[in-house]
Structure 1
Amino acid sequence: MKKIILLVCVSFFMLESCSSNEDTPIVVPSATTAEAVLDGNSIKITWQAVTGAGITYNIYRNDDTVKINSTPLTEAKFTDVLTTTGAFTYTVTVNLSGQESPKGIASEKVVLEVPKTRTFEVYKYDASNVMTTEYKSFSTFTYDPIIINKLISVSGNYLIAGGAASTESNKDIYTYTGNLIMKLESFNNAGVVQSSTVYLYNDKNKMISLENTQNNNNIYKIVFDYNVDGTVLGTHYSGISGALEPRGNSSVYTVLNGNLIKEESFVVNVGNPIQKSTIEYSFDTKKNPFANVLGFSNYTLWWANQNNEISSISNNNTSSTIYSSRNEITYNLNGSVLINKFYRKNGTNPEELYSINTYTY
Structure 2
Amino acid sequence: MKTKIALLFISLFTLISCSSDETSPTAPSAPSAVNAVLNADTVNLTWSPVEGTGITYNVYKNGSAVKINTVPLTEAKFTDVLKATGAFTYTVTASLNGLEGAKSVVSEKIMLELPKTQNIERSDKYNIVKYEYSYTYDTSNITKLATVIVKYSNTNVKTQTTTVLNTITKYTYSGDLITKSMNYSDDNVFKGSTEYAYNEQKKIISGTRKNPDGSISYKVTYTYNVDGTITEKYDLPDYGVGIYTFDKGNLVKYSITTPTPGEEFLAVSNYIYDTKKDPLADILGFNRFLINTVNNAISSSTIITSTLGNNSTESSKTDCTYDENGYVLTKMKSVTMPPNGVMQTEKTVVTYY
- Please report the TM-score for the alignment, with normalisation by the length of structure 1: 0.87
| Matching residue within 199, 207, 224 for 2:222 | 224
Query: Which of 146, 160, 185 in structure 2 is aligned with 1:152?
Result: 146
Match of 2:249 in 1: 258
Distance 1:286 1:85 in 2: 17
Which structure 2 residues correspond to residues 262-341 of structure 1 after superposition, within 5 A? 262-269=253-260, 272=262, 274-299=264-289, 301-302=290-291, 304-318=292-306, 319-341=310-332
**C-alpha deviations, 1:17-37, integer Å up to 9, x for none?**
411122235332133242111
For 1:33 and 1:203, the matched residues in 2 are separated by: 33
Once the two structures are superposed, what CA deviation does each residue of 1:242-288 show, in whole Å capped at 9, x if it has no partner? xxxx5352112112211111111112357x45421111111122211
8 Å Cα contact 1:341-1:353 kept in structure 2:
no
The 1:349–1:292 alpha-carbon spacing in structure 2 relative to 1, beyond 3 Å, is same
- Counterparts of 1:342 and 1:173, CA distance in 2: 29
CA deviations 1:54-109 (Å, max 9, x no partner) are 22211110121111111111211111111111110001112122222221110111
CA distance 1:39–1:98, change in 2 (3 Å): same
Structure 2: which amino acid aligns with 1:328? Answer: D
Q: Which amino acid counterpart does residue 149 of structure 1 have in structure 2?
A: T
Output the TM-score relative to the length of structure 2: 0.89
| 3-state SS of paired residue (2:128) | strand
- Between 1:258-267 and 1:163-172, the stretch displaced more is 163-172
Question: 1:322, 1:346 within 8 Å by CA — same for their partners in 2?
Answer: yes
> How many angstroms apart in 1 are the aligned matches of 2:132 and 2:62?
33
Residue in 2 that maps onto 1:209: 206
Q: Which residue of 2 aligns with 1:173?
A: 170
CA RMSD, aligned part only?
A: 2.4
2:339 aligned partner: 348
Q: Which residue of 2 aligns with 1:116?
A: 116
State the match for 1:55 in structure 2.
55
What is the SS of the residue equivalent to 2:48? coil
- CA deviation profile, 1:314-359 (whole Å, cap 9, x unmatched): 1122234210012211111001111112210002222355221111
Gaps of 5+ in 2: none
Contact 1:33–1:106 (CA under 8 A) maintained in structure 2: no
- In structure 2, do the counterparts of structure 1 residues 327 and 89 end up closer, same or farther at CA, with 3 Å as the change threshold? same
Which whole-Å deviations, capped at 9, do the CAs of 1:94-131 have from their partners, x for residues lacking one?
A: 212222222111011111111111112121226xxxxx
**What amino acid is the match of 1:161?**
T
Change (3 A) 1:82 1:164: same
The 3 A distance-change label for structure 1 pair 218 and 160 is farther
Secondary structure, aligned partner of 1:156: strand
Distance of 2:114 and 2:326 partners within structure 1:
12
How much does 1:208 deviate? 0.8
Take 1:266 and 1:165, find their aligned partners in 2: how far apart are those partners? 34
CA distance in 2, matches of 1:247, 1:212: 18
1:51 deviation in Å?
Answer: 0.2
C-alpha contact (below 8 Å) 1:157/1:170 kept by paired residues: yes
Residues 208 and 216 of structure 2 are in contact (CA less than 8 Å); yes or no, is this contact kept in structure 1?
Answer: no
Amino acid at match of 1:276: L
**Which residue of the other structure, out of 140, 143, 149, is the alignment partner of 2:134?**
140
Question: 2: distance between equivalents of 1:161 and 1:310?
Answer: 27
Deviation for aligned residue 1:168: 4.1
Write the deviation string for residues 183-232 of structure 1: whole angstroms up to 9, x where unpaired: 11121122112231111111111111112234596723211111111111
The alpha-carbon distance between structure 1 residues 88 and 76, as it changes in their structure 2 partners (threshold 3 A), is same
Query: SS in structure 2 opposite 1:292?
Result: coil
Q: 1:130: which partner in 2?
A: none
- Contiguous gaps of at least 5 residues in structure 1: 127-132, 239-245
User: Counterpart amino acid of 1:142?
Assistant: T
Write the distance in 2 (CA, Å) between the matches of 1:248 and 1:331. Answer: 38
Paired residue secondary structure (2:18): helix
1:26-37 correspondence runs (5 A): 26-28=25-27, 29-37=29-37
Contact 2:30/2:92 (8 A) holds in 1 = no
Count of residue pairs brought into register by the alignment: 342
